Structure 1
Amino acid sequence: MKVSIFDVAKKAGLSVVTVSRVLNNATTVREKNRQKVLQAMKDLDYHPNAAARSLAKGKTGVIGMIVTTLQDSFLDSIVQKVSGMLKDYGYYLALSIANHPTEEGHGRDLIQEDRVDGLLILSAVHEEPYVVELKKRKIPFVLIDNQIVQPSVSNVVVDNFKGGYEATKHLIELGHKRIAHIKGSHFFVSAVEREKGFLSAMQEAGLQPVAIEAGDFSIESGYRAVQKWLEEGQLPTGIFAADDFTAIGVVNALHEAGYQVPRDVSVVGYDDQMLASQLRPRLTTMKQPANQIGQAAVETLMKHINSTAKRSSTLKFESELVVRESTTTPRKV
């Protein structure tokens, strides 16, 4: 038998009016009661008629999300968190994925009039055109992991400077003095900030980097950097890679050349990709709070959609150092 709104009300121990208000994202419902209703809906597997509710509210019932790629478990975790939360709010998620991070204009179909009720933009490189267009069309939106923090726009970002600093400090505290960094793609502010954090930690310790190599958040760039250092006879004892994929390339190149991680060289990555704990040795890395980022983005967007956000906001989260098997004290020669 089909579950009705009355069944949800009975299960939650609340009135049908309260359930209806929750389904319509009313701001007058207490958070405790909203959670009761959402839990009752989940327990009963109740799915309200989104089309009918959207028509009644004059909304589409769809939230758009523009992403650079899904071939990244960190970004994928954010998308999954966003999707799950939007279901609780009664929205569907529509994705637009770029073929290349520098591609401009992807996702414009979502910005067309009456397509979505709001938009989330994740790790875009060229975000300014979106900002201009969305403001012009008065579509609520939130930038996630954006390149420029704009006071007039709501942003959800990570403190990549501190992350780079903490990753490097970990190597320094282990006793490493010959430390190198492999950068990420230059058009991402996260890569630039991680490099700045690296340099700050090195300067604070009175150390000079063995090398700073260009990279592009790829396994290949990590592999190439190590090959170059081996050819030059300038292999560091500690390496901070701008992301986990770069770190994998580093480990592969070292293993191929007969070096052991971490006995000969310690390696730190960034992002805590799913594969970081599956790599051997398991990778020490900086874990980004994907769930917190996704939740904050959705909650902020809902406030803008429901006109309860008094002003734009910037929420900044911190990464956490996860120490595994790829780092240790430098080998004594």
Structure 2
Amino acid sequence: MNIHDVAKKSGLSVVTVSRVINNSPSVREGNRRKVLSAIEELNYQPNSAARSLVRGKTGVIGMSITNFNDSFYDRVIRVVNRKLAEQGYFLALSITENEDEGVNFLFQKDRVDGIILLSPIEEKEYVEELKRKNIPFVLLDNQLQHEDVPSVVVDNYQGGYEATKHLIGLGHTQIAYIGGPSVFLSVAERKRGYVQALDEAGLTPFGTEYCGFTVSSGYEVAKRWIREDKLPTAIFSGDDFIALGVVQALREEGILVPQDISVVGFDDQQFVGEFYPRLTTVRQPEAQMGSIGVDLLMKLINGEVMPAVVTKLAPQLLVRESTASVRLT
């Protein structure tokens, strides 16, 4: 198969097919779809080396992530990969699991046409490095605020607020918060929403705690509260893994969820709706985040001048079985 076969199949000119393959912005969307459909039906594989030579680009977009142990990351990556493929790009992943790994290997212009940073660990250093090398990039789920970098984040404040309002609406007045590491902006924002909801209801925080984003961390916090006899009637956990650890610790002590204590998580990990009790949680719009991130990056790569705005997405409270009305004594 060659480009002439694709042109014949799509009913369009070779020039139009070439423009689609080379991701030209001048092609009408309807024609682009016809060409992509013909390419798929014919299983046509453009010569990537020749295409890159023509475009003066690599045809590769890099994405830096912290780990794979999170279905939130998985869902973002899947959307990004699909959208990039539709536009003729390959996705290259770099996993940075700790802050001692140095400069990311993707951060070279001859390797990638652009970079997507997803929940970066060394965010400030990465931003400075990419600016210095003049590589187009966007931030997803970033922790710092940048005045000159386009980014897409979730409204974590709203998520914490809605989760806490849900518990207040069930009659709870003793509501505690367990967040992840306090260095993260998302953790602080979720707590800020929690405090605001309590304040509006004339309530004060029953207790706050910070720990790792792990099941064992939530388990240990809950066990300590049990030993100290400082249990609230409801717990807002700023992470699903933490929430599952809390539920497990309570179960071992014969404390029922939600009959005795209600628990809310955050993220809507893939498995939390399959355990009993199914976890009430706050879902992040990861598909929307990935899609908008790709659109922003493509505009930067194509030379469009854009304001470095922060796109803030609304999360969704999913009410399941781990929350119930407060038990009257």
Same-fold call, TM > 0.5?
yes
> In structure 2, what is the equivalent of residue 142 of structure 1?
138
Q: Do structure 1's residue 190 and structure 2's residue 186 form an aligned pair? A: yes
SS of corresponding position for 1:276: coil
Query: In the TM superposition, what whole-angstrom CA distance separates every residue of 1:110-150 from its partner, at most 9, and x where no partner exists?
Result: 11341111101110132111111111111100011111221
Return closer, same or farther for 1:76/1:8 CA change in 2, 3 Å cut-off.
Answer: same
In structure 1, how many angstroms separate the alpha carbons of the residues matched to 2:202 and 2:102?
Answer: 45
Return closer, same or farther for 1:105/1:312 CA change in 2, 3 Å cut-off.
Answer: farther
> In structure 2, what is the equivalent of residue 97 of structure 1?
95
> In structure 2, what is the equivalent of residue 267 of structure 1?
263
Q: Deviation at 1:4? A: 3.2
Match of 2:275 among 279, 282, 286: 279
In structure 2, how many angstroms separate the alpha carbons of the residues matched to 1:124 and 1:311?
Answer: 22
Match of 2:16 among 15, 18, 26: 18
In structure 2, how many angstroms separate the alpha carbons of the residues matched to 1:205 and 1:74?
Answer: 32
Q: Do 2:103 and 2:126's aligned partners in 1 also have CA atoms closer than 8 Å?
A: no
SS of corresponding position for 1:110: coil
Return closer, same or farther for 1:295/1:309 CA change in 2, 3 Å cut-off.
Answer: farther
Q: Do structure 1's residue 80 and structure 2's residue 78 form an aligned pair? A: yes
TM-score by length of 1: 0.94
- 1:115-126, aligned counterparts within 5 Å? 115-126=111-122
Q: Do 1:156 and 1:314's aligned partners in 2 also have CA atoms closer than 8 Å?
A: yes
Q: Do structure 1's residue 255 and structure 2's residue 238 form an aligned pair? A: no
> In structure 2, what is the equivalent of residue 205 of structure 1?
201
The code of the aligned residue for 1:70 comes to F
Over the residues paired in the alignment, what is the CA RMSD in angstroms?
1.6
Q: Do structure 1's residue 111 and structure 2's residue 100 form an aligned pair? A: no
Q: Deviation at 1:331? A: 1.4
Return closer, same or farther for 1:7/1:143 CA change in 2, 3 Å cut-off.
Answer: same
In structure 1, how many angstroms separate the alpha carbons of the residues matched to 2:30 and 2:194?
Answer: 44
Q: Deviation at 1:81? A: 1.2
In structure 2, how many angstroms separate the alpha carbons of the residues matched to 1:104 and 1:142?
Answer: 22
Deviates more, 1:9-18 or 1:78-87: 9-18
In structure 1, how many angstroms separate the alpha carbons of the residues matched to 2:102 and 2:70?
Answer: 19
Query: In the TM superposition, what whole-angstrom CA distance separates every residue of 1:277-308 from its partner, at most 9, and x where no partner exists?
Result: 11211111101111111111111101100112
SS of corresponding position for 1:108: coil
In structure 2, how many angstroms separate the alpha carbons of the residues matched to 1:36 and 1:129?
Answer: 43
Q: Deviation at 1:180? A: 0.5
Return closer, same or farther for 1:285/1:45 CA change in 2, 3 Å cut-off.
Answer: farther
SS of corresponding position for 2:157: helix
> In structure 2, what is the equivalent of residue 152 of structure 1?
148
Q: Do structure 1's residue 323 and structure 2's residue 300 form an aligned pair? A: no
Q: Do structure 1's residue 179 and structure 2's residue 175 form an aligned pair? A: yes
Query: In the TM superposition, what whole-angstrom CA distance separates every residue of 1:4-40 from its partner, at most 9, and x where no partner exists?
Result: 3334334444333222211111111123332333333
The code of the aligned residue for 2:28 comes to R
In structure 1, how many angstroms separate the alpha carbons of the residues matched to 2:324 and 2:94?
Answer: 42
Q: Deviation at 1:104? A: 4.8
Q: Do 1:51 and 1:61's aligned partners in 2 also have CA atoms closer than 8 Å?
A: no
Query: In the TM superposition, what whole-angstrom CA distance separates every residue of 1:136-194 from its partner, at most 9, and x where no partner exists?
Result: 11110001111122121111111111111111111111111111110111221111111
Query: In the TM superposition, what whole-angstrom CA distance separates every residue of 1:222-243 from its partner, at most 9, and x where no partner exists?
Result: 1112112211212111110011
Query: In the TM superposition, what whole-angstrom CA distance separates every residue of 1:180-230 from its partner, at most 9, and x where no partner exists?
Result: 110111221111111111111111111112110121211112111211221
Match of 1:38 among 33, 36, 39: 36
Return closer, same or farther for 1:267/1:110 CA change in 2, 3 Å cut-off.
Answer: same
How many residues in Structure 1 have an aligned counterpart in Structure 2? 329
Q: Percent identity?
A: 52
Q: Do structure 1's residue 310 and structure 2's residue 309 form an aligned pair? A: no
Q: Do 1:61 and 1:92's aligned partners in 2 also have CA atoms closer than 8 Å?
A: yes
> In structure 1, what is the equivalent of residue 7 of structure 2?
9
In structure 2, how many angstroms separate the alpha carbons of the residues matched to 1:219 and 1:285?
Answer: 15
Please list every run of 5 or more consecutive structure 1 residues that lacks an aligned counterpart in the other structure: none
In structure 2, how many angstroms separate the alpha carbons of the residues matched to 1:187 and 1:47?
Answer: 46
SS of corresponding position for 2:271: helix
SS of corresponding position for 1:185: coil
> In structure 1, what is the equivalent of residue 235 of structure 2?
239
In structure 2, how many angstroms separate the alpha carbons of the residues matched to 1:276 and 1:111?
Answer: 36
Q: Do structure 1's residue 299 and structure 2's residue 284 form an aligned pair? A: no
SS of corresponding position for 1:152: coil
Return closer, same or farther for 1:6/1:322 CA change in 2, 3 Å cut-off.
Answer: farther
In structure 1, how many angstroms separate the alpha carbons of the residues matched to 2:183 and 2:33?
Answer: 41
The code of the aligned residue for 1:171 comes to L
Q: Deviation at 1:61? A: 1.4
Deviates more, 1:123-132 or 1:44-53: 44-53
Q: Deviation at 1:316? A: 1.2
Q: Do 1:217 and 1:246's aligned partners in 2 also have CA atoms closer than 8 Å?
A: yes
